């Protein structure tokens, strides 16, 4: 897992209009990650890759109000990039922008110079393949969730080198950059912006992980008890009482830890506002390239958290992308073909769906769509 408008270059060369450097364009407002199209796909055959999600499913997403699709790509699939390019072109024909993010499976970029060279080489191949697509709709994202926890300067250098390599091939595309520490808020705040007017910055938001992933970073927890966690935490003692629902000591301790953090809308908002302050200070545009919460979390807490993050991002002028269409942290669609049941309560929480009138349903942003 886990972050513009047409900037000066794109605006001047493509449409002759000047957009502010800190503005996110309509194309990057409401996004959805399609997580297994070119990342751990169920079938690597090129024909299967091309048809992983069909036009009916894409049209359903468009009518729901999504404006862009983030497409994770494993470098091992770049040996034959035609299927990737065909998929991106199809997404764009259906009315979406496409963020194309590199997701290495096993590179050790922090410690292996050869792997760092592979990143640059992969982007030379992929950028050349993207050259014939619409630069106003095609957003290369250099790397998903770089770590570099002990060497953030090394990541800044590597990201700069990749930016230069991509820019040489794609002079008009807006390029997506991110910070260290798995693309977190802290990682972005520690990043010095690039001297390139045609980039956008991304961060991922899954805080607190005890809630959103049910503490998946600690194997062996009582998942049923973790799924009962409340959000927002309004009363620490009442929250901590949930620890009594489990006989597992590590789980009970983690429940109490979570409750003591007092996660609520104000705390989530302050984390995202810190990114907003960084963006304003540096006059750059930002998107939350990933956010989501497990479907196993109780519905009230899950929907409240999703709504809180979404509204906090929009309050700062950020675009966002849910993780993901075909992942348990989002819609969990297991067969992305035809008209799937895209949970209306989640769409409503995302501000994309309101109950239908007699003959049509309204979608935020002024679009009119059929009921998903």
- pLDDT tier, 9 (very low <50, low <70, confident <90, very high otherwise): very low
pLDDT reported for residue 1: 57
- 248 and 111 share a domain? no
- 28 and 76 share a domain? yes
pLDDT reported for residue 327: 97
Q: Is the pLDDT of residue 302 over 80?
A: yes
Count of domains observed in the chain: 2
The pLDDT of 309-336, averaged and rounded, is: 96
- 327 and 365 share a domain? yes
Q: Does residue 178 sit in helix, strand or coil?
A: strand
The CATH code of the domain that includes 120 is 3.20.20.80
Q: Is the pLDDT of residue 364 over 60?
A: no
Neighbours of 61 (CB within 10 A): 26
Lowest mean pLDDT, pick from 10-19, 168-177, 273-282, 349-358 = 10-19
Q: Is residue 26 part of a domain?
A: yes
Q: Is residue 252 part of a domain?
A: yes
- pLDDT tier, 53 (very low <50, low <70, confident <90, very high otherwise): very high
pLDDT reported for residue 338: 81
| Preceding peptide of 232 cis, ω within 30° | yes
Q: Is the pLDDT of residue 201 over 80?
A: yes
Q: Is the pLDDT of residue 111 over 50?
A: yes
The pLDDT of 62-68, averaged and rounded, is: 96
Task: Give the Cα separation of 6 and 9 in Å (integer).
Answer: 7
Neighbours of 160 (CB within 10 A): 16
- 65 and 167 share a domain? yes
- 234 and 339 share a domain? no
- 242 and 151 share a domain? no
Residues 127, 96, 276, CA angle at the centre, nearest 5°?
85
- 247 and 116 share a domain? no
Q: What is 192-233 written as a DSSP string? A: PPPS-SSEEEEEEE---HHHHSSSTTSTT--HHHHTT--SS-
- 231 and 348 share a domain? no
**Whole-number average pLDDT of the chain:** 90
pLDDT reported for residue 20: 52
- pLDDT tier, 355 (very low <50, low <70, confident <90, very high otherwise): very low
Q: Is the pLDDT of residue 361 over 70?
A: no
pLDDT reported for residue 24: 92
The candidate with the shortest Cα–Cα distance to 337, out of 59, 81, 143, is: 59
Q: Does residue 176 sit in helix, strand or coil?
A: strand
Neighbours of 1 (CB within 10 A): 20
Q: Is residue 218 part of a domain?
A: no
Choose one of 231, 259, 287: the last residue of a domain: 259
- pLDDT tier, 13 (very low <50, low <70, confident <90, very high otherwise): very low
Q: Is residue 217 part of a domain?
A: no
- pLDDT tier, 242 (very low <50, low <70, confident <90, very high otherwise): confident
Q: Is residue 310 part of a domain?
A: yes
pLDDT reported for residue 356: 45
- 165 and 303 share a domain? yes
pLDDT reported for residue 79: 85
Q: Is residue 3 part of a domain?
A: no
Q: Is residue 213 part of a domain?
A: no
Task: Give the Cα separation of 238 and 242 in Å (integer).
Answer: 7
pLDDT reported for residue 357: 38
Q: Is the pLDDT of residue 15 over 50?
A: no
- 92 and 237 share a domain? no
- 60 and 181 share a domain? yes
pTM value > 0.85? yes
- 186 and 328 share a domain? yes
pLDDT reported for residue 255: 96
- Range(s) of the domain holding residue 274: 8-207+268-369
Longest dimension (CA), the chain: 65
Q: Is the pLDDT of residue 114 over 90?
A: yes
- pLDDT tier, 340 (very low <50, low <70, confident <90, very high otherwise): confident
Q: Is the pLDDT of residue 102 over 80?
A: yes
């Amino acid at each position: 897992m886990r972050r513009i408008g047409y900037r000066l270059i794109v605006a001047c060369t493509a449409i002759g209009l000047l957009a502010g450097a800190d503005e996110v364009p309509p194309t990057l407002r409401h996004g959805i990650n399609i997580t297994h199209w070119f990342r751990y796909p169920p079938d690597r055959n090129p024909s299967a890759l091309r048809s992983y999600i069909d036009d009916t499913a894409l049209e359903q997403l468009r009518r729901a109000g999504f404006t862009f699709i983030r497409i994770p790509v494993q470098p091992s699939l770049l040996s034959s990039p035609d299927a990737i390019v065909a998929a991106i072109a199809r997404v764009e024909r259906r009315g979406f922008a496409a963020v194309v993010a590199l997701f290495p499976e096993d590179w050790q970029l922090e410690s292996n110079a050869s792997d760092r060279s592979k990143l640059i080489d992969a982007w030379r191949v992929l950028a050349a393949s993207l050259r014939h697509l619409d630069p106003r709709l095609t957003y290369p994202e250099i790397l998903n969730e770089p770590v570099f926890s002990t060497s953030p300067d090394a990541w800044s250098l590597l990201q700069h080198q990749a930016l230069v390599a991509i820019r040489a091939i794609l002079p008009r595309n807006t390029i997506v950059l991110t910070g260290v520490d798995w693309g977190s808020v802290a990682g972005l705040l520690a990043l010095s912006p690039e001297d390139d007017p045609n980039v956008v910055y991304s961060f991922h938001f899954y805080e607190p992980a005890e809630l959103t992933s049910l503490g998946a970073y600690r194997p062996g927890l009582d998942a049923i008890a973790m799924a009962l966690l409340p959000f927002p935490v309004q009363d620490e003692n009442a929250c901590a009482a949930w620890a009594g629902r489990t006989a597992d000591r590590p789980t009970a301790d983690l429940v109490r830890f979570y409750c003591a953090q007092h996660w609520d809308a104000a705390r989530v908002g302050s984390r995202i506002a810190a990114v907003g302050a960084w963006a304003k200070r540096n006059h750059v545009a930002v998107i939350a390239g990933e956010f989501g919460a497990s479907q196993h979390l109780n519905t009230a807490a899950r929907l409240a958290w999703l709504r809180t993050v979404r509204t906090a991002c929009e309050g700062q002028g950020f675009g966002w992308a849910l993780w993901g269409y075909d992942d348990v942290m989002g819609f969990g669609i297991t067969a992305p073909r035809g008209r799937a049941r895209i949970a209306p309560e989640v769409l409503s929480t995302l501000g994309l769906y309101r109950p239908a009138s007699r003959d049509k349903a309204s979608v935020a942003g002024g679009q009119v769509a059929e009921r998903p």
